[in-house]
Amino acid sequence: MKVLLTGDSIIARYEGKSEPYLNYELEKKLPGITLTNTAVSGINSGAYFARLSELVLKQSQHDVLIILLGTNDLAMHKQVPLHQFKNNMELIASAIVCQYWPKYVILVSPSAVDEKKQHVRSNDLVKEYGQVVNEVADEYHFHFVDLGQKMLDQGNLEQLCQGQKNDGLHFGQAGYDLLSDLLVQELQKIK
């Protein structure tokens, strides 16, 4: 199975590994998987749409496309209004369906945050932007993984959101273990 991973820093970060941490976890849990990772730290949905050709459309054909966006759109100091975020996500989805033709697309909601450390993002905003991602997934018949809600359900955000940056957003082993488990479950449904 060939999988294209893309989106923002949650997908892109290495966290001390020689490859993106998510790649490392997925390769460990799904031997034989082929991964390409085009995620860009700091990108929001509008900038992502502007670079969609490079990040997705010009990539070789993959069986599954996994996208996580919204983390930077919901940041209060550079917030993209919810209606604009939805419009951007619909433009991305439409272009992917029309020009890339993947067999399966999985949209992932933004991750929850440890609000004690993260002061420009809140879990209420994570839920709002995650709901938009879910709506776009429904509209385009994509798969959806509600990472934010799963993190909240699991609790212990202090541990889940503990990574090298220690900023309450970018996570390390515990967060990537949860995210990779959720993606493995979704990928096994697709097989």
In tens, the pLDDT along 64-92 reads 999 999 999 999 999 999 999 999 999 99
Task: Look up the CATH number of the domain holding residue 85.
Answer: 3.40.50.1110
Task: Using the structure block, give the residue that is written with the tokens 């990108």.
Answer: 43
* Contact residues for 122 (Cβ-Cβ < 8 A; gap 6+): 76, 113, 115
Written in H, E and C, the secondary structure of 79-109 is CCCHHHHHHHHHHHHHHHHHHCCCCEEEEEC
Residue 130: how many other CB atoms lie within 10 Å: 25
What pTM value is reported for the model? 0.98
Note the pLDDT of residue 173.
96
Report the pLDDT value the prediction gives residue 53, as an integer from 0 to 100: 97
179: Cβ–Cβ under 8 A, 6 or more apart, which residues? Answer: 10, 22, 25, 108, 111, 147
Residue with tokens 């390769």: 27
Q: What is the pLDDT of residues 4-27, one digit of tens each?
A: 999 999 999 999 999 999 999 999
Quote the pLDDT of residue 123. 98
Interval 118-124 mean pLDDT: 98
Report percent pLDDT > 90 for the chain.
Answer: 98
Across 96-114, average pLDDT: 96
Bridge partners (DSSP) of residue 65 are 4, 105
pLDDT for the residue 191? 74
For 127-184, the pLDDT digits (tens) are 999 999 999 999 999 999 999 999 999 999 999 999 999 999 999 999 999 999 999 9
Q: How many domains does the chain have?
A: 1
CA-wise closest residue to 153 among 127, 125, 133, 187: 127
As beta bridge partners, residue 34 has 2
Widest distance between CA atoms in the chain: 42
**What gap in Å lies between CA 15 and CA 73, rounded to an integer?**
22
How high is the mean pLDDT of the chain? 97
pLDDT band at residue 63 under the 50/70/90 scheme: very high
Task: Give the residue numbers spanning the domain of 32.
Answer: 2-190
